[in-house]
Amino acid sequence: DQQVKQNSPSLSVQEGRISILNCDYTNSMFDYFLWYKKYPAEGPTFLISISSIKDKNEDGRFTVFLNKSAKHLSLHIVPSQPGDSAVYFCAPPPTGNTGKLIFGQGTTLQVKP
Amino acid sequence: DGGITQSPKYLFRKEGQNVTLSCEQNLNHDAMYWYRQDPGQGLRLIYYSQIVNDFQKGDIAEGYSVSREKKESFPLTVTSAQKNPTAFYLCASSSRVRTGVLSLHFGNGTRLTVT
């Protein structure tokens, strides 16, 4: 049972333009969502989160939008920079008290100079 | 500096041999995790441990084993029963920040190649 789905395995944008990465989820009871960024041969690093009581959270060039009715969240990067080229994962919190943390399949973003 | 250390960075083994991947953290985190990354498959959870001397299977635990004898350490053994062991393995630990959000910290991974 895939709790989150990132249906676009890859995305390519021009430097300076907007990058939009999408994530769909199934459980409407999630309290928050996390986005992680991963460079090749490195571990992922936390990027930004959004609480389920909000519909937007902004941190510099990164903004995450949450559409609860559609069970959809998106990460916007504006303006995109070549250093943003990485794999981006969305993740819901663990369900119940299991501590089991599951990630989406990831979207590989390439920002072209 | 606090962090998670995975060693070695690259590991090569012959098919049929067991191999143990090391993961050490000095962040004083209770929970630790093992994931593997394969091209096009994202991060898949192998095992996780919420506390010392306790661990649970993730989604792809077959062919793997773990132990959690110390808070700081969560080694992963890839056994000969694992059918496709060649992958990039990531260890992580977690804590809850004040807002209750679970924050995951990752090591830099071990690339295991089995031939």
pLDDT tens digits for B74-102? 999 999 989 999 999 999 998 765 556 67
Pair B115, B16: CB distance under 8 Å:
no
Which of the four pLDDT bands, split at 50, 70 and 90, describes residue B12? very high
Buried b (16+ CB within 10 A) or exposed e, B44-66: bbbbbbbeeeebeebebbeebbb
Which of the four pLDDT bands, split at 50, 70 and 90, describes residue A93? confident
Residue B94: predicted pLDDT:
86
Which of the four pLDDT bands, split at 50, 70 and 90, describes residue A97? low
pLDDT beyond 80 at B56? yes
Residue A18 and residue B113: Cα distance in Å, rounded? 37
Instruction: Pick the range with the lowest mean pLDDT from A8-17, A32-41, A91-100, B49-58.
Output: A91-100
Least CB–CB distance from A102: residue in B45, B92, B107: B45
Q: Chain A residue closest to B87 (CA)?
A: A41
Cβ distance of B88 and A104 shorter than 8 Å? no
Residue B20: predicted pLDDT:
96
B 16-55 near A (Cβ less than 8 A): 31, 33, 35, 40-43, 45, 48, 50
Q: Chain A residue closest to B94 (CA)?
A: A99
Residue B91 and residue B93: Cα distance in Å, rounded? 7
Where do we find the tokens 């920002």?
Answer: A111
SS (H, E, C) chain A: CCCEECCCCEEEEECCCCEEEEEEECCCCCCEEEEEEECCCCCCEEEEEEECCCCEEEECCEEEEEECCCCEEEEEECCCCHHHCEEEEEECCCCCCCCCCCCCCCEEEEEEC
The two structure tokens encoding residue A84: 């943003």
Residue B74 and residue B108: Cα distance in Å, rounded? 15
Residue B97: predicted pLDDT:
53
Provide mean pLDDT across the span A63-88. Answer: 97
Q: Which amino acid is at A48?
A: I
